[in-house]
Structure 1
Amino acid sequence: MDRPTPLVPLRYVPIGGRGPEDVVVDGRGRVLTGVADGRVLRLDGLTDPAGPRIEVLADTGGRPLGLEPLPDGGLLVCDAVRGLLRVGPERGAVQVLATAVAGEGLRFCSNAVALSDGSVYVTVSSRSHPLEHWLADIVEHTGTGRLLRLPPGGGAPEVLLEGLQFANGLAAGAGEAFLVLAETGARRLTRYWLTGPRAGGSEPFAEDLPGMPDNLWRADGGGPIWVALAGPRVPPLELLHRGRPALRRAAGRLAVHASYRPVGATGVLAVDDEGRIVHHLIRRHPRFRMVTSVCVADGVLVLGSLWERGVAVCGAPA
């Protein structure tokens, strides 16, 4: 698909917290998200004229980012402060699953996916910068992102891939034969093979995307992989990425103190299992900025954002 189609906004839903960075759907079609003060929220009835019902599931005591519902009603939470957590289905009990990998603290845990065999895969966006300095990592182009695996039943995580450019969203491919992960800093999706003769290897899945990919989401029943585009392509930034490491490090130090404000268009993609774009929706000069996640619930698109104090509900493509 070469030509984008309009992203049609339907309503903005305040949720009483800032930065619903990831939005996912539980087994009953309700939307789950985490906000900056540490709360994990459940949003029910986003399309109801009277407004949604908002329930607090848990408080992680950190900063929840990527979420992954579990078959037993529990929830995996990637917490940028505390590591990989599990929220139980009863009374929001929070269990710590991993805080370190290979003798190093699990800094900037970003996204997770649980497979049918009980294994859990996790992305780490950066080993150099914490969440509050995410822009510095993008500017510096550190390439310190990782893909991790926790074996079924728990245990210490192992490193599967290193050198990723701000590893972010994660989703399983058809039949769980591979994973797709977003490299925000490289504007690409990467495939990591789980089965077959290429198991343990990685390759580009979709490159030169029209924006910076963030969280990924796929419905339990299949369908395309939805990709949130957190920001547009920035040619001067790409030129800097081709420069010398010392120059990038200096620019990254400046970015730590820079005042960031999202600009440009709001966009989302959907890709099939061959990496082909099947939907590209865009809205220029939007009021809802920095889309970091997208899911489909009750027949509409629900957008999350690291920046906003609510979620956006938009029309879904046919």
Structure 2
Amino acid sequence: MTATRRLISPRRWAPPPAPADRGRTRVTGRFVVDRRIATGGHGPEDVIFDERGGLLTGLGDGSVVRIDPATGARTVLGNTGGRPLGLEPSADGGVLVCDHDRGLLRMSADGSVEVLVDTVEDRPLTFASNVVEGPGGTVWFTVSTRRWDLEHHLGDFLEHSCTGLLVRRDRDGAVTVLRDDLKFANGLVLAPDASHLLVAETSGYRVSRYRLTGPNAGGMEPFVDNLPGLPDNMSLGRDGLVWVSLVAPRNALLDRLLPLPGFLRLLVWNLPEAIRPEATPIAWVMAFDLDGRLVHDLRADDGSYAFVTSVAEHDGTLVAGSVRQDDIVVLAHTPSAG
């Protein structure tokens, strides 16, 4: 998956019209950077809090670090030997890691790394994206795409491959694919009562709910549909809200091309990289209650930060990370809606 000109196989899709709000009518506050926290590296793609209020993130050099958000003190927990993306503190004191190159891993407190899943249905696992753990040791994780890698992920957006996976790993190691048709599966949240999962489908502009219990177990339904931006990583805050990072606004050209014959997207894909459509640099996070109602919509386009790929809240402290930045940022406050 390293060739920049790998052929795409476009699939037609008619996205819903983008919400009329393309400006600031729904914004409930500004994305205001209060301070920056150095990570010691580049690309804190996913940022989460552990139970003690420490920050965990993975960096482009493969390291997984814990940072004290108050002092900035940094501890390197270990190195995956790949590219860590989504993280989840594990009940055993370690950290579950979705590594783009190596699959689903567990990093122990001593820094050693155990590979939990590196093949799915007899195919090498690449682009594992995000992970959550249930109270009984069951683990669920997403795979963004079976056809593209992180460097060339735009190919999946133009192709609209719908090859994202939602996968369950049982405590005994059994692996089950729950869904294999997701639109660039990304962020993942387990409901507090473990009744359902919330899955960000980045190229579907939506967050979907996958039922784990009840009469509709195994079914999927919209949680938040037709978002004005591209949802990335998500987290459940101590405030009871589902925080969603939006890496960029929807691209009007892509929305126009998706329903049309695929050769038009082939033309775009074959343009020199320097003149391909580029995502608008904006810093953007949203928060929803567990019924899918919007509570916060925080944006900034002043260049202070951009391309937010993760957001997390802990006892009133709101932080964000980005695969394109070096630092994690702490937001000044969490404004109320209205």
Normalised TM-score (structure 2): 0.87
In structure 1, distance between residues paired with 2:260 and 2:40: 42
The answer as to 2:211 corresponding to 1:187 is no
The answer as to 2:51 corresponding to 1:27 is yes
| Cα separation, partners in 2 of 1:299 and 1:75, compared to 1, 3 Å | same
Root-mean-square deviation (CA, aligned residues, Å) is 2.0
Whether the aligned pair in 2 keeps the contact of 1:118 and 1:153 (CA below 8 Å) is: no
Secondary structure (helix, strand or coil) at the match of 2:193 reads: helix
Alpha-carbon offset, residue 245 of structure 1: 3.6
Aligned letter for 2:43? Answer: G
| Cα separation, partners in 2 of 1:258 and 1:171, compared to 1, 3 Å | farther
Whether the aligned pair in 2 keeps the contact of 1:300 and 1:313 (CA below 8 Å) is: yes
Secondary structure (helix, strand or coil) at the match of 1:67 reads: strand
For 1:151-162, list aligned pairs within 5 A: 151-155=170-174, 157-162=175-180
Whether the aligned pair in 2 keeps the contact of 1:136 and 1:256 (CA below 8 Å) is: no
Secondary structure (helix, strand or coil) at the match of 2:285 reads: strand
1:231-277 C-alpha deviation (Å, 9 max, x unpaired): 11211111112223444355345487877865332110111111111
Whether the aligned pair in 1 keeps the contact of 2:244 and 2:287 (CA below 8 Å) is: yes
Percent sequence identity over aligned pairs = 43
Whether the aligned pair in 2 keeps the contact of 1:191 and 1:202 (CA below 8 Å) is: yes
Whether the aligned pair in 1 keeps the contact of 2:33 and 2:304 (CA below 8 Å) is: no
Whether the aligned pair in 1 keeps the contact of 2:236 and 2:242 (CA below 8 Å) is: yes
In structure 2, distance between residues paired with 1:95 and 1:105: 16
Alpha-carbon offset, residue 298 of structure 1: 5.6
Alpha-carbon offset, residue 153 of structure 1: 3.1
Secondary structure (helix, strand or coil) at the match of 2:241 reads: strand
In structure 2, distance between residues paired with 1:251 and 1:313: 37
Normalised TM-score (structure 1): 0.92
In structure 1, distance between residues paired with 2:197 and 2:293: 15
Q: Quote the residue 1:76 is aligned against.
A: 96
Out of 113-122 and 295-304, give the one that drifted further.
295-304
For 1:50-69, list aligned pairs within 5 A: 52-69=72-89
The answer as to 2:236 corresponding to 1:218 is yes
Q: Quote the residue 1:87 is aligned against.
A: 107
Whether the aligned pair in 2 keeps the contact of 1:289 and 1:305 (CA below 8 Å) is: yes
| Cα separation, partners in 2 of 1:96 and 1:222, compared to 1, 3 Å | farther
Secondary structure (helix, strand or coil) at the match of 2:187 reads: strand
Whether the aligned pair in 1 keeps the contact of 2:249 and 2:279 (CA below 8 Å) is: no
Q: How many residues align?
A: 311
In structure 1, distance between residues paired with 2:139 and 2:102: 17
Q: Quote the residue 1:99 is aligned against.
A: 118
In structure 2, distance between residues paired with 1:259 and 1:119: 41
| Cα separation, partners in 2 of 1:301 and 1:255, compared to 1, 3 Å | farther
| Cα separation, partners in 2 of 1:290 and 1:3, compared to 1, 3 Å | closer
Out of 240-249 and 192-201, give the one that drifted further.
240-249
In structure 2, distance between residues paired with 1:143 and 1:287: 33
Runs in 1 of length 4+ with deviation above 6 angstroms? 255-261
Alpha-carbon offset, residue 299 of structure 1: 2.9
| Cα separation, partners in 2 of 1:24 and 1:242, compared to 1, 3 Å | same
1:130-180 C-alpha deviation (Å, 9 max, x unpaired): 11111221222211111111112323x211112211100000124111100
Q: Quote the residue 1:47 is aligned against.
A: 70
Whether the aligned pair in 1 keeps the contact of 2:251 and 2:279 (CA below 8 Å) is: no
In structure 2, distance between residues paired with 1:118 and 1:250: 47
| Cα separation, partners in 2 of 1:124 and 1:149, compared to 1, 3 Å | same
Greater strand share, structure number: 1
The answer as to 2:164 corresponding to 1:134 is no
* The one of 134, 137, 152 aligned to 1:118: 137
Alpha-carbon offset, residue 108 of structure 1: 0.6
| Cα separation, partners in 2 of 1:166 and 1:250, compared to 1, 3 Å | farther
Alpha-carbon offset, residue 281 of structure 1: 0.8
Q: Quote the residue 1:10 is aligned against.
A: 34
The answer as to 2:253 corresponding to 1:229 is no
Q: Quote the residue 1:284 is aligned against.
A: 301
Structure 2, gaps ≥5 residues long: 1-24
| Cα separation, partners in 2 of 1:222 and 1:118, compared to 1, 3 Å | farther
Alpha-carbon offset, residue 291 of structure 1: 0.3
Aligned letter for 2:31? Answer: L
